[in-house]
Amino acid sequence: MTHSKEPVSVSQGPRTLSAGIFDVDGVLLASPHERAWREALGNPGDEARFTTAMYQSQIAGKPRLAGALAALQALGLPHAGLLAEAYAERKQRRLEELIHAGAVSAFPDALRFVRDVMALGWPMAVASSSKNANEMMKRVQLDTHHTLLDVFGSNVCGRDLRQGKPNPEIFLLAAADLPAAPRNCFVVEDAPAGIEAACAGGMTGLGVARLHDADLLWAAGASLVVTSLDEVSIDELARGRLCRRAP
């Protein structure tokens, strides 16, 4: 399904945006999570069937054990529930190897967008299910004085939660920690489960379709979907509205 129309602004009535919450993997960083999930399977046939589309729709944004179970179930492997914990542990070991090998990079458009939101003086939070997010962010230098990890007023990455995305718990924790009212927060996400979580928390979802999956993000309830965060109008954001930059 292709969306031919999109909202010009997501400001409705008294809703005015004034704070930002960012996911990490796929939004701020090109991290090796997907690669680690695939390689941890250990079976060439299963690895070949582990596609990017499957990762985005079934696994991305979920806590590690939930992601492991979702992956095994999506692949149709028998006894997925019994195998999930060991698979999750293998994935974590492989991810740590890849991180230490330098297989992490920042998206330039994301760094520019973070700097722009900083310049507005808005509070910002970072909220990822990954317990590896902080280790990855501190390897990225934002400017001469800050790593990417330093610039967020709230950091709820890797928290032990009662429920993972699409439950909004992680984003509600981030908003409370800023503090900011949920209705005044936009959430930047690349995964449908993350957009669903933002909407469930009463927040505005900004989808980043880096993998040609815009339709999934629209369907999950995003108020705006872009392929690059450079497409967001900072002038309109300063007015509390989330809009696409004029051509």
Return the domain boundaries, the chain. Answer: 19-30+104-238, 33-100
Domain 19-30+104-238 fold: Rossmann fold (3.40.50)
| pLDDT value at residue 10 | 38
Residue 204 makes CB contacts below 8 A (sequence gap 6+) with 10, 15, 17, 185, 186, 187, 198, 223, 242
Which residue did the predictor score with more confidence, 145 or 38? 38
Which residues in 78-92 are b (16+ Cβ under 10 Å) and which e? eebeeebeebbebbb
Could you tell me what percent of the chain has a pLDDT over 90?
Answer: 75
Domains 19-30+104-238 and 33-100 share a fold: no
Does 154 have pLDDT greater than 80?
A: yes
Q: What confidence category does residue 146 fall into, taking pLDDT thresholds of 50, 70 and 90? A: confident
Q: Which pLDDT tens digit goes with each residue over 182-208?
A: 999 999 999 999 999 999 999 999 999
Q: What distance in Å separates the CA atoms of residue 140 and residue 146, rounded to the nearest whole number?
A: 9
| pLDDT value at residue 6 | 44
Domain 33-100 fold: DNA polymerase; domain 1 (1.10.150)
Could you tell me what percent of the chain has a pLDDT over 70?
Answer: 94
Which residue did the predictor score with more confidence, 232 or 130? 232
Instruction: For residues 16-42, give the mean pLDDT.
Output: 94
Q: Which pLDDT tens digit goes with each residue over 52-87?
A: 989 988 898 788 899 999 999 999 999 999 999 999
Which residue did the predictor score with more confidence, 32 or 6? 32
| pLDDT value at residue 124 | 98
